[in-house]
Amino acid sequence: MTRWRKRLFVATARITTDAAEYFGLPRDRTVIMGSRITV
């Protein structure tokens, strides 16, 4: 993807719903791990 499309994707990815919230997971027992993935 071109640079501006990458930036647009990163911007939209930032406002996505949190998976833990979506699936109604118990907050105090949920560990969220991020990983770096190059686009």
Partner 1 sequence: MVLLGGGAFLAVEVLFLAANVTKIPYGAWVPLLIAITVFTVLTTWQRGRALVTRQREHDEGSLRAFVDKLHTRRPPLQRVPGTAVFLNRGKATAPLAMRANVEHNHILHEHVVILAIETSPVPHVPPADRVVVDDLGYTDDGISHVTAHFGHMEAPTSPPSCGWPTRPAWKAHSTSTTRPTFCPPSSCASAGSPA
Q: With binding defined as CB under 8 A, does residue 35 bind partner 1?
A: yes
- At residue 33, φ and ψ (nearest 5 deg) are -115, 125
Q: With binding defined as CB under 8 A, does residue 3 bind partner 1?
A: no
Give least dist CB 13 to partner 1, A: 7
Give least dist CB 21 to partner 1, A: 10
Burial of residue 18 (number of CB atoms within 10 Å: 0-12, 13-18, 19+): exposed
CB 32 within 8 A of CB 20: yes
**Interface ranges with partner 1 (CB under 8 A):** 1, 5-6, 8-9, 12-13, 16-20, 22-26, 29-35, 37-39
